[in-house]
Structure 1
């Protein structure tokens, strides 16, 4: 695993899937206490989607990429219509939405639970205030997406918005991306988002290096 995250060839392609190219430099963001980049987070979320698609006992997933929320906040649904032109979001159970807080250079994870009409927001820093801006924008997006793609309003237009205050917390500033991926992975298996913390981050990082380089999840 260590060989995959080190020079001498940072631009060497390790794997290409999901229209994403993962290089040695990308994998190096999983080494030590580096901060994860967009490529790693997007690839990992696609692995979750792929795993769940082959197991009828797991929720049907759709993953937004890391550029979705910035575009949504800056330009609204109209700028994103083409992103889902071949996708029925409402045929899924959960939508995984990575959230980057630019001012803090910090990753969070939002989970849109279409069955429970709930948006759950995970922030490994805890966060004293819920991120109403993102959760409200996601709710508006769902309303407009339903009207645009299905020609009808949401069955329940008002989603419950939950800031998951009791989620595991990070202790080191650069582990937010790993925590966010772990939140998504637990949600994808419909298991409680607990039982891990800072002590498990080195293991999660090594595991993600292996899974991404092999193009499949271990579990």
Structure 2
């Protein structure tokens, strides 16, 4: 269904146009959008632009970190990502969303700044809490760097096991985007594996329209 929509939309666009969708620093090509078709794995470009739309819809009270953040943090430590929040005061936010790519699987880590809780959301129930602890360590260093002493202690780490779970190997990216959307907009996590074709279609339209739509 998604592929048919993409082909239809492409027929309306002159072939010399290099990008289908442009939004701020993000660029989505036909290949990027095609990852929303059928059972394809979503790529980083789709994940990151959708995260931008989530931030816009949450009135700047939510921050969505780039999907490459966690890998950079693991490879180069805090100094390697220190500048990523140069113009962002994380501790003035309500919620931080961190998409994490574990080789062949996406999961989501969230940080609630009001409750000082870091929670892992994994659609396959793998529960690698060390990923969440990596984010806690980052937040402690970020708090020290930004002189936010109230956030240098008192964090708790957990995983949310009562969340929608995928029953295939391909929809983890769709699940983390839907988790992120619901959490950012304070909506319940009421969706199932059978809903993913509809969710993929909605995400595609939202990316093309550069805004989130009301669920219908």
TM-score relative to the length of structure 1 = 0.88
Q: CA deviation at 1:3?
A: 3.6
- Looking at structure 1, the residues matched to 118 and 66 of structure 2 have their Cα atoms a distance apart, in angstroms, of 17
Over aligned residue pairs, what C-alpha RMSD do you find?
Answer: 1.9
Q: CA deviation at 1:153?
A: 2.7
Distance 1:172 1:144, change over 3 A: same
Does 2:159 align with 1:160? no
Does 2:179 align with 1:212? no
Matches within 5 A, 1:87-98: 87-98=88-99
Does 2:67 align with 1:66? yes
CA contact (8 A) 2:143 2:152 kept: no
- Segments of structure 1 that go 5 or more residues without pairing to the other structure are 55-59
| Aligned position for 1:57 | none
- Segments of structure 2 that go 5 or more residues without pairing to the other structure are none
What CA deviation, in whole Å up to 9, does each residue of 1:13-53 have, x standing for no partner?
11111311011110000000000000000011110100111
CA contact (8 A) 1:94 1:113 kept: yes
- The DSSP-based 3-state class of the residue aligned with 1:13 is coil
- Looking at structure 1, the residues matched to 24 and 123 of structure 2 have their Cα atoms a distance apart, in angstroms, of 27
| Aligned position for 2:192 | 197
Q: CA deviation at 1:12?
A: 4.3
Does 2:172 align with 1:176? yes
Does 2:14 align with 1:4? no
